[in-house]
Each structure stands twice: as structure tokens, then as C-alpha cells.
């Protein structure tokens, strides 16, 4: 259920199981107001960008949580697990904003919407996403091999044995995380400006 109160207005949106449909109720000083769902292209674009904004704000919030941990002198193994989870969430959620999704009416971000100073960070996120967070690629974010160890010839101190050697990049560093936050915040500003223009056009079309 969606609920929000703004001044004398109360907005409720929920799914009625008995009627099997979405119900929208807007009241002003407890009096019900007439409403209608706008399904035109401008309105679809507006809500698509709203959903993208939610993702980008999550990226910024997760990035700040990660920075708080990375600022500490001693990071525990439990905190490293949290950092790993945050990195995967940040990278995959950020990249979702550039993917074509039906729920967003085809609205997505494009690289030409990114300021030039932040484009290298965008490409770095893409590299991490494709080679570490979502796939196992050729970049050295994770690798491993089996090491065979035997005693020096003529010595019989122990039996030969094998050791699995592996490495994995578990979390981003402070610089990368800070830059991802700055990139996301610049995109949020860009979308806010775009939505202001869209909202003006929506209002004009409904008058």
C-alpha cells in the first residue's frame, strides 16, 4: 500500500483483492476527490524516471554506508561481508538504470546523459558489473589455481600436497565509492531537471 500525507491531502493507493484491481483514493480535508490515471507517453516517462531516481538514491545511500565502514581503521570480517554485499548491490542497481525494463515503460539512462568528468567511472562500473558482480569474466576480479607442493629431492619430511589458491575483490575502495556517489548524484540532478520539464508538459496537456 502507498500512503502519503501532504498538508490537507491524503493519498492512498492499494490493490483490492476482492475487486482484483488497483484503487486510488485522494482526499482533501477528508473529502474524496476525483482522480484519473494518466497513461500518456509523457506520464509514462515521468514515472519511469521516478523509478530510476529511487535506484540512484539507493546507490548513494549504500555508498555512504560503505564509506562509513571503509573509514574505520580496523574492518572486521563481518563488515567485509557487508562491503561485498554493498558493492554488488551498488553496481547491479546502478547498471539497471541503463537497462531496458518493461516496468519503466522503456525509460532508461544513456551514457550521453553523463557529464564527461564522470564517464570513466561509469565505464569502470560496467567493467565490474560484467566481470565480477553479474558474471565471471576475464578481468582479475576473481581468479584461482591449484598449487602442488612437494619436498626437496632427497628429503622425506612430508607427503606432497595441493593447496587451492584463490583471490577475489570483495569490496570497493574509498576513492571508487566516493566517485560512484558523485556520479549518481549528478545523474539525480539531471533527472530532477528533466522531470520538472516533463511535469510542466503533463500539466499543459491536461488543462
Q: Each residue of 141-177: pLDDT tens digit?
A: 455 667 788 888 888 887 887 876 555 545 568 899 9
Q: Is residue 97 part of a domain?
A: yes
Q: Which pLDDT does position 140 carry in this prediction?
A: 47
Work out whether the CA dihedral 97, 100, 101, 107 comes out positive or negative.
Answer: positive
Domain shared by 199 and 114, yes or no: yes
27 with 58, same domain?
no
96 and 30 in one domain? no
| Four-residue CA torsion sign, 41, 55, 193, 11 | positive
Predicted pLDDT at 132: 65
Decide which of 104 and 182 is more confident: 182
Residue 8 located in a structural domain: yes
**Is the confidence at residue 15, as pLDDT, over 50?**
yes
* 10 confidence band (pLDDT: 50, 70, 90): very high
Q: Which domain holds residue 23?
A: 1-37
Whole-number pLDDT of residue 165? 59
Instruction: Answer whether 14's CB lies under 8 Å from 23's CB.
Output: yes
Q: Is residue 156 domain-resident?
A: no
More confident residue, 133 or 178: 178
125 and 53 in a common domain:
yes
What total of structural domains would you count in the chain? 2
Same domain, 122 and 194: yes
Let me know if residue 158 belongs to a domain: no
Q: If you search the block for the grid coordinates 545523474, which residue do you land on?
A: 187
11 and 56 fall within a common domain: no
Percent of the chain with pLDDT over 70: 88
Q: Do 16 and 88 fall into the same domain?
A: no
For residue 90, being part of any structural domain is answered with: yes
CA distances from 13 to 2, 16, 58, 144 (A): 5, 10, 23, 51
Evaluate whether residue 191 is within a structural domain: yes
- Structural domain contains residue 161: no
Amino acid at each position: 500500500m502507498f500512503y502519503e500525507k501532504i498538508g490537507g491531502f491524503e493519498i492512498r493507493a492499494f490493490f483490492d483483492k476482492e475487486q482484483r484491481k488497483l484503487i486510488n483514493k485522494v482526499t482533501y480535508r477528508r473529502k474524496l476527490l476525483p482522480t484519473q490515471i494518466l497513461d500518456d507517453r509523457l506520464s509514462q516517462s515521468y514515472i519511469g524516471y521516478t523509478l530510476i531516481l529511487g535506484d540512484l538514491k539507493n546507490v548513494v545511500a549504500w555508498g555512504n554506508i560503505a564509506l562509513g565502514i571503509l573509514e574505520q581503521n580496523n574492518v572486521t570480517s563481518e563488515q567485509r561481508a557487508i562491503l561485498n554485499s554493498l558493492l554488488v548491490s551498488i553496481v547491479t542497481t546502478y547498471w539497471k538504470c541503463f537497462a531496458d525494463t518493461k516496468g519503466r515503460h522503456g525509460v532508461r539512462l544513456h551514457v550521453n546523459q553523463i557529464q564527461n568528468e564522470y564517464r570513466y567511472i561509469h565505464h569502470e562500473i560496467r567493467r565490474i558489473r560484467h566481470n565480477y558482480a553479474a558474471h565471471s569474466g576475464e578481468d582479475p576480479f576473481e581468479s584461482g589455481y591449484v598449487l602442488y607442493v612437494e619436498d626437496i629431492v632427497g628429503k622425506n619430511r612430508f607427503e606432497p600436497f595441493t593447496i587451492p589458491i584463490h583471490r577475489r575483490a570483495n569490496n570497493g575502495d574509498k576513492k571508487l565509492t566516493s566517485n560512484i556517489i558523485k556520479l549518481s548524484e549528478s545523474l539525480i540532478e539531471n533527472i530532477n531537471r528533466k522531470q520538472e520539464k516533463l511535469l510542466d508538459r503533463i500539466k499543459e496537456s491536461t488543462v
